Homo-oligomer: A and B are copies of this chain.
Amino acid sequence: MQRARTPKQIGSILYRQRDLAELSQHELGNKAGLRQATVSKIESGSPTTRIQTICALLAALDLELQIVPRRKGSADNIEDIF
């Protein structure tokens, strides 16, 4: 339930949450103080995105992080299983 281990997974969750909030990338960018282009890149999973930028997006979506023990049985990517 909204767990993430990789930048790609974080991007997917942010995309889903933005969609639920019915915001465009531009609108979300405004709330977070970021360009639309930046939001786009983050949602696609750019691994070099800065943590502060992720935090800004989370705040704009009224979300926060929780750091929890890894759950066994869920691989990072389906490819990693084989």
Contacts and interface: CB of A to CB of B under 8 A. Distances in A.
Interface in A27-82: 47-52, 54-55, 58-59, 62-71
A58 B64 contact: no
A24 interface: no
B58 A5 contact: yes
Contact of A47 (B2, B51, B69): B51
Contacts of A7: 51-52, 55
Given A5-B65, A50-B51, 16 more contacts: A1-B66, A2-B66, A2-B67, A3-B66, A4-B66, A4-B67, A5-B64, A6-B55, A10-B67, A14-B67, A17-B67, A49-B51, A58-B67, A64-B67, A64-B68, A65-B66
